[in-house]
Amino acid sequence: MMTTASTAVPTAARGLAGVVVADTAVSDVRGAEGFYQYRDRSAIELAETVSFEDAWQLLVTGEPATDASRPPFRRRLQHAAEGRRSDIDAVVDAVARVTPEVLPGLAAAWPLLGARLALRPLYDLDDEQRLDDAITLAAATPALVGALWRCARGERPLPLLTDRGVVACYLHQVTGIVPDDDTERALTAYLIAVMDHGFNASTFTARVIASTGADAASCLAGALGALTGPLHGGAPSRALDGLDAVGTADRVEPWIREELAAGRRLMGFGHAVYRTADPRAELLKRVALRRGGARVQLALRFEETAERLLAEAKPGRDLHANVEFWAALVMEQCGLPRSMFTPTFAIARTIGWTAHILEQARDPKIIRPSARYVGPSVRTVAA
């Protein structure tokens, strides 16, 4: 809530744009520079150089993985995914009887798993207990998502790959294929790049719930509800719709002109924060180009044409391809079906959510903003 100095009348910041609501040491996004970081490291550098598990450890503990700290952290992850397998299977079986959809299933699975594990409110826990709950839920998430996917297709979950990491195990569960190193690295780059991104809608939702002292599973379920919206995380697969509609390179410009003339939004272009190229999109473009293929060449043509025509149609807006456009290409290259794009995004973002939940839980102040009433005045009831 902001006030104008001249009148002192409260004014509402639409969408809370520009309003600082909390301090954080988890991540920072500098939209004008096209840069963002996790803790004290460039997020893009992490996505290009470290494992999924090491980036996870940095975000949730605040400390980089070392030769000494890496093994115990990974044992915690392994225990949550394998040691809790019977709990995960029980929850998946219960959820699969109600819905074949993965995202609604995950939203139901977290609270059920929390209840089965008797998770207590964050308010009643110390820092180490909160961390344990956060790791347990996040580590269970790839297994939950993969199992829900297979159950929706009438199949049983595959045995875990005991000699591979989280990303390879997830790809194996969804595709049925043990991924090669390049495919695993490609999806790892994507997952790390989207683990966190400032106070986006779902992260803010998680923090609001955490500020009430609720349990970690409730925080994650609320965050996922926000993520499913098409204006937030529900759009990666839609970025491919344009490529499908175009089909061939000669159709790119006519199709985009038709879309813009009709006033329709080009999915995968523009971002609420970045006023320059989205660094995540640039990273994933490099990943897609390295893997190659005709589809990628069509995407390059589409991106160049879309950015040129958007500059003509919306001068001064500086609209570029965002992370969703190239993320969709990379996930498609990795063999993931489109219905699994947003659930895969959720697996990555769960790491960021838990980092923010842990940070918010250390602040005893509940998040409770004000609103400016703009309805009618009170009317006197006639005698």
**Active-site residue, 271 included:** yes
Query: Considering all CA atoms of the chain, what is the largest pairwise distance in Å, rounded to the nearest integer?
Result: 80
Residue type, 115: A
- Give the contacts of 355 (CB within 8 A, at least 6 positions apart): 26, 59, 60, 134, 196
Q: Are 329 and 299 in contact (CB under 8 A)?
A: yes
Q: Which of 184, 324, 332, 359 is catalytic?
A: 324
Q: Give buried/exposed letters for 188-219 (b at 16+ CB in 10 A, else e).
A: bbbbbbbbbbbbbbbbbbbbbbbbebbbbbbb
Q: What is the signed CA dihedral for 291, 295, 299, 301, rounded to 10 degrees?
A: 110
How is residue 156 written in tokens?
Answer: 């049983």
Q: Give buried/exposed letters for 229-247 (b at 16+ CB in 10 A, else e).
A: eeebbbbbbbbbebbeebe
Q: Are 39 and 365 in contact (CB under 8 A)?
A: no
Q: Which of 271, 303, 320, 332 is catalytic?
A: 271
Residue type, 315: P
**Distance of alpha carbon 262 from alpha carbon 112, whole angstroms:** 45
> Closest Cα to residue 132, out of 63, 90, 73?
73
**Active-site residue, 48 included:** no
Q: Are 39 and 25 in contact (CB under 8 A)?
A: yes
Q: State the catalytic residues.
A: 271, 324
